[in-house]
Structure 1
């Protein structure tokens, strides 16, 4: 019997880091674990990083799990068949919601004899939660993105508050207590995926009973679609070459993301996430990310040596128009090239806005 663990949560919450850390922890317990990444586009930065740490990895691209349901099932079947897997962890697109009805219940109904579907887990960045909450406290109208964020919390069986090290302990305790009050059907767990603090509590929550299995999410698909359409999505590849000698791939990537982060702050554009890998040859690569306008990039992995040439991949999800994101990334790359002695050639920008979500299945709760 296969165990399937579904993760959701807003862009930048740390789903991939959570998924990878959990997979490694479960493997230490003797489980054979595979993971599945998911995105509206192709060429995923996260998949590269995950494959550097785990053997059994698949991806579903070109749409969310609900709209690519059969692709998800095929990925699960292929992983189980090829790698003798007993546990699959999958992270949905960060702008996706309504997964109880469109993914969890269909899997239980149509494949319940082959797999156990664990409680749906929503991964939360506390700083993102507090930012949306401050806007509400100021009396601002609820934005479509805030609406989407709240729907992700409302349908969760487990609310997994990641990055607790980014806020003070007293604020962390208050936040966890508030979430337990506001979402009584969910188990609320606080942890830090990067350091592993309290990760066993999250793993334990996956063995609990779903709290929202019999509850239909009240969701307005027009608002859901509007929220997704606020974000421009870019996946772009670049070939890099040193002008003279070699260059520092990690420093170049940091410069790109710093420039993009500053641009987003100056233009009041929310960053869902911006991630960048630079492959310098063989298994060596740098990976950095930024999840807030004006924030400093975080380093997930540094390149081990300088390079004369490299291949970079940019994944950016920013609340702006696609043409604006294309120009912003182009300007960021140009600035990094000039600062670090690099020439770059890129594929044609392909920023886009997701289409209207159209799930393959949408099942009501039993008895509803």
Structure 2
């Protein structure tokens, strides 16, 4: 019997870091674990990082699990057949919701003889949650993105507050208490996927029964689609060549994200997330990420020595028009090329807005 662990949560919440840390922890306990990444586009930065740490990795691209349900099932079947895994952790696109109805219940109904579906887990960034909460306290109208975030939390069996190391302990406990009071059927846990602190509380929650599986979201799909359409999505590859003896892949990526962060702050453009990997000719790579306009990039992995050439992958999800994101990334790359003494050759920018969500299945709770 396969255990399938579904993760959701807003862009930048740390789903990939959570998935990877949890997979390694479960492997240490003797489980054979595979993971599945997911995105509206192709060429995923996250997949590269995960494959550097785990052997069994698949991806579902071109849409969320709900709209690519059969692709998700095929990925699970392939991982079990090729790698003999007994546990699959799958993270959905960060702009997706309504997964109880479109993924969890269909898996339980149609594949329940072969798999146990663990409680649906929504990963939450505490700072993002507090920002949405402050806007509500000020009496601001709920934005479509905030609406989407609220739906993700409402349908969770487990609310997993990641990045507790980024907030003060008293503020963290206050946030956990608020989430417990507002979501009495959910299990609320707090941890840091980066440090591993309290990660075992999340693993324990996955072993417990789902407490919110009968939830019926009162969701407006037009508004859901509008929230997704606020974000421009870019996935782009670039070939990098040093004009001298070598270039620093980490520094190049950091400059790109710093420039993009500054542009987003100047234009009041919300960054869902932006991520870059740069792989050098010897197989080493750097990975950096950004989840807030005006903020410094986060270093997830540094490359070692300088290299004569490399290939970069840029994933960016920003609340702006696709053409504006293309132009901003192009300018950021030009600045990084100049600073690192690099010439770059990019694929044609492929920024787009996601299409209207049309799930393959949408099931009501049993007995509803």
Shorter-chain TM-score tier: over 0.9
- After TM superposition, the structure 1 = structure 2 runs for residues 1-368 of structure 1, keeping only pairs within 5 Å, are 1-368=1-368
- Residues in 2 aligned to 1:316 and 1:120: alpha-carbon distance in whole angstroms: 26
Unmatched segments (≥5 aa) in structure 1 = none
User: Partner of 2:344: helix, strand, or coil?
Assistant: strand
How big is the shift at 1:29?
0.3
Deviation readout 1:74-99 (Å, 9 max, x if unpaired):
00000000001000000000000000
Q: Measure the CA separation in 2 of the matches of 1:33 and 1:157.
A: 21
Deviation at 1:344, TM superposition (A): 0.5
Q: Deviations over 1:176-207 (max 9, x none)?
A: 00000001110000000000000000000001
Secondary structure at 1:206 match in 2: helix
**Cα deviation per residue 1:188-244 (whole Å; 9 max; x = unaligned)?**
000000000000000000011112211211100000000000000000000101111
Q: Which runs of 4+ in 1 moved over 6 A?
A: none
Q: Distance in 2 between matches of 1:152 and 1:211?
A: 15
Higher mean alpha-carbon deviation, 208-217 vs 30-39, is at 208-217
> Distance in 2 between the 1:265 and 1:93 partners?
24
Quote the Cα distance in structure 2 between the aligned partners of 1:264 and 1:139.
24
Deviation at 1:145, TM superposition (A): 0.2
> 2:47, 2:213 → 1: CA distance?
30
Please state how far the C-alpha of 1:282 moved relative to its aligned partner: 3.4
CA distance in structure 2 between the partners assigned to 1:96 and 1:340 by the alignment: 37
For residues 8-65 of structure 1, the C-alpha deviation after alignment (integer angstroms, 9 at most, x for no partner) is 0000000000000000000000000000000000000000000000000000000000
Q: Once the two structures are superposed, what CA deviation does each residue of 1:232-263 show, in whole Å capped at 9, x if it has no partner? A: 00000001011111110100000000000011
Instruction: State the shift of 1:283 in Å.
Output: 2.6
Partner secondary structure for residue 207 of structure 2 = coil
Which whole-Å deviations, capped at 9, do the CAs of 1:252-279 have from their partners, x for residues lacking one?
A: 0000000000110111000000000000
RMSD across aligned positions (CA): 0.5
Distance 2:144 2:338 in 1: 38
Cα distance in 2 for residues equivalent to 1:281 and 1:33: 29
Displacement of 1:305 in angstroms is 1.1
Shift of 1:367: 1.6
SS at match of 1:128: helix
Which deviates more, 277-286 or 19-28? 277-286
Looking at structure 1, the residues matched to 196 and 33 of structure 2 have their Cα atoms a distance apart, in angstroms, of: 18
Unaligned residue ranges in structure 2 (runs of 5+): none
Per the normalisation by structure 2, the TM-score is: 0.99
Q: What is the TM-score normalised by the length of structure 1?
A: 0.99
Partner of 1:335: helix, strand, or coil? helix
